[in-house]
Amino acid sequence: MTPPPTVLHWPDAGGGGSGGAIASGGTETTAGGYKYHTFTSNGTLTVSSGGSVEYCIVAGGGGGGNFSAGAGGGAGGMLVGTTVVSATTYSVVVGSGGAKGLNGSDSSAFSLTAIGGGAGAGNNNSGLVGNSGGSGGGGRVASAGSGTAGQGNAGGNGIGSPNGGGGGGGAGAAGSAATHVGGQGTGGDGGAGAEWPVGSGNYYAGGGGGRGDGVGANGAGGVGGGGACFNNGTANTGGGGGADNAGGSGIVIVRYLL
How confident is the prediction along the chain (258 residues), in pLDDT tens digits per residue? 333 333 343 444 444 444 679 999 999 999 999 999 999 999 999 999 999 999 999 999 999 998 778 999 999 999 999 999 999 999 999 999 999 999 999 999 999 999 999 999 986 555 689 999 999 999 998 899 999 999 999 999 999 888 899 999 999 999 999 999 988 999 999 999 999 999 999 999 999 999 998 788 999 999 999 999 999 999 999 999 999 999 999 999 999 999
pLDDT score at 152: 98
This prediction has a pTM of 0.93
pLDDT score at 128: 87
Beta-bridge partners for 70: none
Q: Are 218 and 167 in contact (CB under 8 A)?
A: no
pLDDT score at 141: 84
Please indicate, yes or no, if residue 139 is contained in any of the structural domains: yes
Looking at the structure of the chain, the number of domains it has is 1
Q: Are 195 and 201 in contact (CB under 8 A)?
A: yes
The angle at the Cα of 205, spanning 203 to 209, to the nearest 5 degrees, equals: 110
Q: What residue numbers bound the domain in which 86 lies?
A: 25-258
Please indicate, yes or no, if residue 78 is contained in any of the structural domains: yes
pLDDT score at 19: 66
Please indicate, yes or no, if residue 3 is contained in any of the structural domains: no
Please indicate, yes or no, if residue 29 is contained in any of the structural domains: yes
Please indicate, yes or no, if residue 14 is contained in any of the structural domains: no
Residue 143: C-alpha distances to residues 111, 136, 188 (Å): 32, 10, 13
Sign of the C-alpha dihedral computed for residues 3, 95, 198 and 234 taken in this order: negative
Please indicate, yes or no, if residue 94 is contained in any of the structural domains: yes
Please indicate, yes or no, if residue 217 is contained in any of the structural domains: yes
Taking the C-alpha atoms of residue 40 and residue 43, their distance in angstroms, rounded to an integer, is 9
Please indicate, yes or no, if residue 18 is contained in any of the structural domains: no
pLDDT score at 9: 38
